Structure 1
Amino acid sequence: MRLDSHQHFWKYNPEKHSWITDDMKVIQENFLPDDLNPILKEHQIDGCVAVQADESIRETAFLCDLAQEHEQIKAVVGWADLGSDELDKDLDQFASQKKLKGYREILQAKPVDYMLRKEFIRGIEKLGKRGYTYDILIFHNQLEAALQFVKKAPEQAFVIDHIAKPNIKLGIWREWKKEMAPLAERDYIFCKLSGIITEADWKNWTTKDLQVYLDVALELFGPKRLMFGSDWPVCKIAGEYEQVLEIIERFTDRLSKTEKEGIMGNTAAEFYGVTV
């Protein structure tokens, strides 16, 4: 299966999507399944994983509704306040949603120690007991805290979004590699090859700028724990879907057929429990 492990849908609202600043005007509009489906078909991609972009229960319901209506959405990563005393009730609300496979919070916008709170860890444990995955969305400067976090939940299935957002624009990678390594040593942690061009210079990035980061991800996680993700439509800030796909297609050409197929979809399908 060829599966895009990471993309978003939204009906643009300036207040709800305040993170989409004026230098991101290209994505200040609606992006829905009918916009993405022709792109998936053109590139023979069988489906996608819709990931939350807004922190609200309403967002989770919105994505689940889209997934019911559109066959190409194979899985949903929703949102819930993991530290809330109402978490069980919120999770129960979506228990019948078969395509809802995991959850995510926008940890990159939170204090570094936010994920280490006992309430948050308690929430992660509740996700694990229900069989949900968890996407870790952080910046590179949160990697040390993320290591402490995952140590507290060794039974949880984790995937690091966007290779933990290293500073590609400035070409800084050695410290990022050093801090990613102990996370990669844990076989319950996966990593998405996504969101890379938007961490580079939006107007002037080259494939060469990205190469060392892809090489490090492959070295640390191996081909069996990496997943292709477009981060569409956010990727449009720096390039088109086709460019993101081509980067990963070319990068994986060095691998065996099985390894390439894993990165291009099979690993994500297994991680999120997607079936054809």
Structure 2
Amino acid sequence: MIIDSHQHFWKYDSERHAWIDDDMSDIRRDFLPYHLKEVYDENGIDGCVAVQADQTLEETDFLLGLAHENDFIKGVVGWADLRDKNVEETLEKYSSRQKLKGWRHIVQGEADANFLLRSDFIRGISYLEKYDYTYDILVFPHQLGAVLEFVKRFPNQKFVIDHIAKPYIKDGYYEGWALLMEAIAKYENVFCKVSGMITEADYNTWTPLELQPYLEHVFEIFGSERVMFGSDWPVCLVAGEYKDVKKLVRDFISGLNSHDQDMIMGENAVAFYRL
């Protein structure tokens, strides 16, 4: 079974999706399940986890609605304001929605490099374990110092780092990212998605060879049992086709045994998100 651990749906709106800049104009349109189902049929993908792209509860409800209507959407990572003093009421409200697996905040968009360590946010995170919710960590490399302190505080909370923490591949940035990722990977409750890599390189000229050092490091520090394949569709389309993203990971892990490959391409996502 192949599970795509990270993809998005949206009905395009220029204000809500203002992060889609001119360089990404190709994805300024709707992306809905019937678009993705066709892609999955072509690429042999069995299911996915739909991840929030807009920071509203309406987004969470939108994704849950799509998951209810489409069996191949196995789980949803939604958004709620974890800083809200009444956040536990929200978490309780959604606890009956079986396909709601976890939460994410777009921390990469926060000006405060230590956003994750704010007391109100920490308080919200502290409730997640009670409901067996996961948390997706979306950050840039300059926020990894805060991530390290953050995961230390919650040894029993299931975390996953999205897009290998978005290293600035286009600029050749590696050492600082690599050191902090290694320190974070020592915490065994932290997983990592090999996703979103081709859009951190040059959209037009990236090569698998350019991405290899980053993949090698992620697999060395997390191991096959804590890495999961993700496409970041449709964002990936600004730099390549779905088949390119899948092939990048498949080719890299081709030398591993079949059990390890199965974990990376699906089983780890099933276990992490309880799909």
User: Per the shorter chain, which TM-score range?
Assistant: over 0.9
Which residue of 1 is the match for residue 242 of structure 2? 241
How far the C-alpha of 1:214 sits from its partner, in A, is: 0.4
Give 1:35 shift: 0.3
Partners of 1:212 and 1:113 in 2: how far apart? 27
Query: What is aligned with 1:107?
Result: 107
Q: Determine the structure 2 residue equivalent to 1:273.
A: 274
| Structure 1 letter corresponding to 2:96 | S
Specify the alignment match of 1:10 in structure 2. 10
Matching of residues 52-201 of structure 1 within 5 Å: 52-110=52-110, 111-201=112-202
| Deviations, residues 132-162 of structure 1 (Å, cap 9, x unaligned) | 0000000011111100011111110000000
1: distance between equivalents of 2:269 and 2:129?
A: 18
How many percent identity over aligned positions?
51
The one-letter code sitting in structure 1 at the alignment partner of 2:92 is D
2-side partners of 1:70 and 1:4: how far apart?
15
Q: Which amino acid letter does the alignment assign opposite residue 245 of structure 1?
A: K
Deviates more, 1:151-160 or 1:88-97: 88-97
Counterpart of 2:131 in structure 1: which amino acid?
Answer: R
> In structure 2, the residue corresponding to 1:202 is in which secondary structure?
coil
Amino acid at match of 1:28: R
Q: Distance in 1 between matches of 2:19 and 2:86?
A: 26
Q: Is the 8 A contact 1:136 1:161 kept in 2?
A: yes
CA contact (8 A) 2:152 2:187 kept: no
**For 1:202-256, what per-residue CA distance to the aligned partner results, in whole angstroms no more than 9, with x for missing partners?**
1111111101000000111011100000000000111111100000010110111
Paired residues, number: 274
Distance in 1 (CA, whole Å) between partners of 2:157 and 2:88 is 17
Q: TM-score, normalised by structure 2?
A: 0.98
Cα separation, 1, equivalents of 2:163 and 2:36: 20
Q: CA deviation at 1:173?
A: 1.0
Cα contact 1:50–1:77 (8 A) shared by 2: yes
Per the TM alignment, residue 95 of structure 1 is displaced from its structure 2 partner at its CA by 2.0
Question: In structure 1, what is the Cα distance between the partners aligned to 2:262 and 2:133?
Answer: 24
What whole-Å deviation, never above 9, does each CA across 1:64-117 have from its counterpart, x for those lacking one? 000000001000000011111121222233222100000000010111111101
- Distance in 2, matches of 1:2 and 1:204, equals 28
Report if the CA contact (8 A) 1:121-1:153 is conserved: no
CA RMSD of the aligned region, Å?
Answer: 0.8
Q: Which residue of 2 aligns with 1:38?
A: 38
Q: Partner letter of residue 11 of structure 2?
A: K
Is the 2:82–2:125 Cα contact (8 Å) retained in structure 1? yes
SS in 1 for 2:49: strand
Specify the alignment match of 2:220 in structure 1. 219
**Structure 1 portions without partners, runs of 5+:** none
